[in-house]
Amino acid sequence: MRKKIILLLLFVCCTSSFIYAQRKGLLSRSFQPQLHKGYVHQFLDDINKRSGIIIEYSSTTLDADRTVTLDGSETTIGAVLKKVLQGQHVALLEKNNKLILVKSASVFHTEETVTTYTVFGFVKAQNNKEPMIGASVYETSTGKGAATNPYGYYNLSLPAGKHHLEISYVGYNTGSLDIVVSSNTRTDIELSENLEKMEMPEIVVVDVEALKKNGAEKINADQYQPYNYLLGENDPIRTAYLLPGVKNIPVAFNGMFVRGGGPGENLFLLDGIPVYNPAHMLGALSIVNESSMKTMQLYKSDFPSKYGGATSSVIDIYTKDGNMEQWQGEANVGTMAGSFTIEGPLAKNKTAIMASFRHSWPFQLYKKSIKPDFYDIHFKATQLIAKNDKLMLNFYTGHDNVNQVGENIDNLHKWGNLVGSLIWNRVIGSRSFINTSINMSRYHNLGAFKYSLLEEEDEGEGGEGGEVEIESGSVGTFASNELYTAKSQAEIYVNNAWKINAGAKFAHTIIKPFETKISGEIDDDESSYTAFAPLSFNEISAYGEVEIKAGPDFFIRPGLHFSAYQYETYHFNSFQPRFFAAYRINKFQQIYFSYNRMTQYLHLVTNPYLGMNADIWVPSTDKLLPEQSHSFNLGYTYHSTNGIRFSLEGYYKELKNVTNYAEGKTYFINNENWAQNIITGKGWAYGLELLIRKNSGKLHFMGAYTLAWSWRQFEGINNDEKFPFKFDRRHSISLGVDYQINKRLNATALWTFSTGDVFSLPEYIYPDFDMVQQISNPTDLLKDYRFIYHGSENDQYRSAPYHRLDANVKYQLSGQGKKQWIFSAGVYNIYGAADQYIYDLKGTIGGVSTLIENNLKTFDITPYLSITFKF
């Protein structure tokens, strides 16, 4: 019943919007008054004489002798009447092709007299014609404004007449444009780069903060650049890791954790294409190269209806189209890798390409705990077809091959992504924009580790006993995924107050699981793993939402995402209501609220305790139900006139059918029973997030604090009681400071801290059951380990806290023309802190039971240097 009401409301909203949009009448007729200043009756007579339209009125109906002054922007009957009848107690009727003024108890409703038209088009950068995402288009006299969508498209309804537009975008000069609106008008706008800007882009401080329309955190590629260095690689995704509620745990692989969710609950979109594992080097570095990225939007508190398939967050990355004007490029040589990006027009202002390539060095210049070997290639071609159509061809591939070899570790990780898409943007009429695409995403992952069991050697003559290996072997997993999608998303701009977003998607996923292989040595040959029958499923989804500006300071966005899922004979329909509302308290402060229900059909089954990348994606079945989340968020924002922004957000999230980290389970032992080896449970996460930042002036800083709780509950684990999630880090802090020493030189320091992770350890050791029955197995090599470890609680201990300090100095040297050299040097992990603490127990019969502590560091104290040449 509740679902039906929601659908009905949406239908009513949509229908009424269309009716409103189609209102037209005599008022829209073009008319240029002869008078600039005069009495009311003079203007009405002028219309009667020269426009061909009759206005009937009585002198007793209105104050016909009031003096009126026009400003010259009035170009229609409606625009003139709006000014002439302002403040009069009359109403306007339209009958038999006549306009009749009648007495009214209320003041004349001026809005009804004016025909509105649509001004629409694209906002682009002047130097390269790159569409700008989130640029502001603002009409000064009416106060109407709009922001560009992810493809640079804007749509603004304005009354007929002359208007002054101001267009602004971070890092660019504010543009202005005078236009006369007498019909729907396509107006493309170009902004020039602010070459006088400080190295860190200034935040444009406007008198009134724009009313929030979503809870996304929008990050431009260069916005927080100083904080993003990892051994000379500028990784824009690292900015997201600094935000409250987001954790990056490098050694946890694919290691992004948002608000108590696991890494499998994040949807990473590269130009709209899902990427299963968007990380290099076990999660330390993202696949996104700064030189190819344009903007990133992170959704963790509010999920617009177009997003589905992730219960914790959506990271939506948009890359550059390519320079339509001229060829340009960038080469980077860092301590860890080298990269090269080139972009330019194949046909000026019509066809552009962008290609980037990055590869780790075959040698290492730093102290290593892992041996990275990765590359990524990104190619994009953009073709403008006529004025209203644009085609984009996207291709990305990347691969990692990481060996972790150390005193207690011998792991191999190989994974890679291959994604591609063809995207078609079309402007339909003056009020609609549609984005249609076909996408493909493939992922393969092989993880293996070698283990050995040691036995204490008999003491020699000197009384010294060593350890001898009595058994060794390796465990390996391999799996691959393929995803094919076709989707279409439309934006319909009814007027400035109403916008409708709607779309549909079809997705076909094929998961190819393979056996868990146990052998003597690590086997990195993917073809040697025995394949099981592919697990395939289909999903059809549709969504609709209405963006309603219910006043100058109030915005709501009700929406619904629907999806239908089919795996073999299992079928599941999911109605996912979404709601966002924002209220502007005053020009400095806003509050906002959101509710989201999300459903996810893919389960990421993994076990971070194994110390290896054992990620396997599996589909939902009648036993392994789809994962779902409900979340409520309440936020507050404040911005000051000197560029300081502060936000505080509280959230509560419930998770159903989570599968992550079901301890002690082995997956894909055989094809028939894989689902029985995966258990599902419940989860809760709640907390407070605080963010403060200043991005203007010489001193920039940001500080983020998270207070969070995250719980899990599985039947049969921890006596069915809830227990803390593995990465339940109570406090997290990020502090970044960037100081502009002069125009060319700036220095940055970044410090992060978080509470340690929870973990389990057995409390007792007691005799082996068979041993007590006097049963011995002659084939058992582990005679010295014939006892039982007993643990009564899950995650009852907490590790030492994590913290790290990085520092960076950047020097910018301009060369001739466009040529520019950027030197960056710094130290990563200045005091050599660990990324993860792992605890285990050691002991054999007759030996001592002791605790082992492993401090894992992806990178120890590592100085680095990076040289970037732009041309």
Partner 1 sequence: MQCATFLDKNKFYPKTVYSYIILLILFAGSSCKKNFDYHPNVENQLVVLAEITANDTSHIPVSQSIVAGSGTVIDFQQVNNAAVSITDQNGQVRQLTYNTSPNFSGIPAGIYTHPGLFKAAVTYSLQVGHPSLPTVSASTYIPAVFSIANIESEEEDFHGKPVLEFSFNVKDNAGEKNYYIFEAVKELIHLFRYFYWQGVLYDYDTPEGKQLYEHLIDEGENVKLNKDTLPTNKFLRLNTFTSDPLTANSQLHSLDSSFNRIFLTDSLFNGQTYATSFFIDRTFFKATNPDEKGIVEIRIKSVDKAFYDYLLQYEKYKIDFGTMPVNQLTTPVGNIQNGLGIFGGSYMNEKKYYYDVL
Name the minimum Å distance from CB 355 to partner 1. Answer: 42
Residue 783 and residue 785: Cα distance in Å, rounded?
5
Within residues 471-510, the interface with partner 1 by CB under 8 A covers 471, 473, 475
Within residues 61-120, the interface with partner 1 by CB under 8 A covers none
Residue 465 touching partner 1 (CB under 8 A)? no
Give the DSSP letter of residue 133.
Answer: T
Q: Residues 750-789: x/- map of binding to partner 1 (CB under 8 A)?
A: -x-x-xx--xxxxxxxxx-xxxxxxxxxxxx-x--x-xxx
Q: How many CA atoms lie within 13 A of 150 on its CB side?
A: 22
Name the minimum Å distance from CB 142 to partner 1. Answer: 27
> How many whole angstroms from its chain centre is CA 247?
14
Within residues 175-234, the interface with partner 1 by CB under 8 A covers none
Q: Among 174, 328, 589, 713, which residue sits at the site for partner 1 (rule: CB under 8 A)? A: 589
DSSP string, 457-501: PPP-TTS---EEEEEEEEEEEEEEEEEEEEEEEEEEE-SSSEEEE
Q: Among 39, 340, 424, 609, which residue sits at the site for partner 1 (rule: CB under 8 A)? A: 609
Residue 586 touching partner 1 (CB under 8 A)? yes
427-442 in b/e form (b: 16+ CB < 10 A) is beebbebbbebebebb
Within residues 660-689, the interface with partner 1 by CB under 8 A covers 663-664, 666, 669-670, 672-673, 676-677
* Beta-carbon contacts of residue 622 (< 8 Å; ≥ 6 apart): 569, 570
Q: How many CB atoms lie within 10 A of CB 642?
A: 9
Within residues 422-451, the interface with partner 1 by CB under 8 A covers 451
Of 406 and 847, nearer to partner 1 (C-beta) is 847
Helices (H), 383-422: none
Name the minimum Å distance from CB 778 to partner 1. Answer: 6
Q: Any idea which residue has 């992770």 for tokens?
A: 757
Of 150 and 513, nearer to partner 1 (C-beta) is 513
Q: Which long-range contacts (CB under 8 A, 24 or more apart) does 589-593 make?
A: 589/636, 589/637, 589/638, 590/209, 590/211, 590/212, 590/636, 590/637, 591/634, 591/635, 591/636, 591/637, 592/212, 592/215, 592/302, 592/633, 592/634, 592/635, 592/636, 592/637, 593/632, 593/633, 593/634, 593/635
- Nearest alpha carbon to residue 474 among 514, 518, 515: 518
Q: How many CB atoms lie within 10 A of CB 522?
A: 19
Provide the token pair at 754: 């978080």
Within residues 798-837, the interface with partner 1 by CB under 8 A covers 798-801, 803, 837
Q: Among 92, 219, 598, 838, which residue sits at the site for partner 1 (rule: CB under 8 A)? A: 838
Provide the token pair at 190: 């170009």
Residue 532 touching partner 1 (CB under 8 A)? no
Stretch that binds partner 1, among 476-484, 681-689, 792-800, 818-826 (CB under 8 A): 792-800
Stretch that binds partner 1, among 63-71, 535-543, 822-830, 846-854 (CB under 8 A): 846-854
Q: Residues 695-714: x/- map of binding to partner 1 (CB under 8 A)?
A: ------x-x-x---------
Provide the token pair at 41: 């009756």
* Beta-carbon contacts of residue 803 (< 8 Å; ≥ 6 apart): 751, 752, 753, 754, 833
Q: Residues 380-409: x/- map of binding to partner 1 (CB under 8 A)?
A: ------------------------------
Assign 47 to helix, strand or coil.
helix
Stretch that binds partner 1, among 83-91, 186-194, 292-300, 636-644 (CB under 8 A): 636-644
Of 47 and 737, nearer to partner 1 (C-beta) is 737
Residue 733 touching partner 1 (CB under 8 A)? yes
Assign 536 to helix, strand or coil.
strand
Residue 515 phi/psi, 5-degree rounding, is: -65, 155
Of 44 and 200, nearer to partner 1 (C-beta) is 200
Q: Among 840, 861, 863, 865, which residue sits at the site for partner 1 (rule: CB under 8 A)? A: 840
Cα distances from 338 to residues 159, 322, 417, in angstroms, run 53, 21, 20
Q: Among 607, 647, 836, 866, which residue sits at the site for partner 1 (rule: CB under 8 A)? A: 607
Stretch that binds partner 1, among 70-78, 279-287, 318-326, 586-594 (CB under 8 A): 586-594
652-677 in b/e form (b: 16+ CB < 10 A) is ebbbbbbbbbbeeeebbeeeeebbee
Name the minimum Å distance from CB 627 to partner 1. Answer: 22
Q: Among 406, 551, 552, 847, which residue sits at the site for partner 1 (rule: CB under 8 A)? A: 847
Name the minimum Å distance from CB 761 to partner 1. Answer: 5
Name the minimum Å distance from CB 783 to partner 1. Answer: 12
Contact assessment for residue 265 and residue 310, using Cβ atoms and an 8 Å cutoff: yes
Of 648 and 747, nearer to partner 1 (C-beta) is 648
Name the minimum Å distance from CB 453 to partner 1. Answer: 5
Name the minimum Å distance from CB 789 to partner 1. Answer: 5
Name the minimum Å distance from CB 637 to partner 1. Answer: 11
Stretch that binds partner 1, among 43-51, 298-306, 539-547, 635-643 (CB under 8 A): 635-643
Cα distances from 691 to residues 217, 259, 694, 706, in angstroms, run 11, 15, 10, 9
Name the minimum Å distance from CB 522 to partner 1. Answer: 13
Q: Among 22, 67, 96, 642, which residue sits at the site for partner 1 (rule: CB under 8 A)? A: 642
Stretch that binds partner 1, among 14-22, 204-212, 299-307, 796-804 (CB under 8 A): 796-804
Residue 160 touching partner 1 (CB under 8 A)? no
Residue 817 phi/psi, 5-degree rounding, is: 60, -130
Stretch that binds partner 1, among 269-277, 322-330, 643-651, 742-750 (CB under 8 A): 643-651
Of 157 and 474, nearer to partner 1 (C-beta) is 474
Of 53 and 453, nearer to partner 1 (C-beta) is 453
Of 338 and 756, nearer to partner 1 (C-beta) is 756
Number of chain positions touching partner 1 (CB under 8 A): 91
Stretch that binds partner 1, among 227-235, 482-490, 582-590, 591-599 (CB under 8 A): 582-590
Give the DSSP letter of residue 726.
Answer: T
Task: Provide the terminal-to-terminal Cα distance of the chain, rounded to the nearest Å.
Answer: 61
Name the minimum Å distance from CB 647 to partner 1. Answer: 12
Q: Any idea which residue has 């068979």 for tokens?
A: 770
Name the minimum Å distance from CB 234 to partner 1. Answer: 25
Of 11 and 451, nearer to partner 1 (C-beta) is 451
Residue 444 phi/psi, 5-degree rounding, is: -135, 150
Name the minimum Å distance from CB 122 to partner 1. Answer: 36
Of 71 and 853, nearer to partner 1 (C-beta) is 853
Residue 554 and residue 590: Cα distance in Å, rounded?
10
Stretch that binds partner 1, among 204-212, 313-321, 547-555, 659-667 (CB under 8 A): 659-667
Q: Which amino acid is at 676?
A: Q
Of 815 and 847, nearer to partner 1 (C-beta) is 847
Q: How many CA atoms lie within 13 A of 160 on its CB side?
A: 23
Name the minimum Å distance from CB 465 to partner 1. Answer: 14
Q: Which amino acid is at 626?
A: P
Of 111 and 715, nearer to partner 1 (C-beta) is 715
Q: Among 140, 573, 640, 814, which residue sits at the site for partner 1 (rule: CB under 8 A)? A: 640
How would you classify residue 865: left for phi > 0, otherwise alpha for psi between -120 and 50, otherwise beta? beta
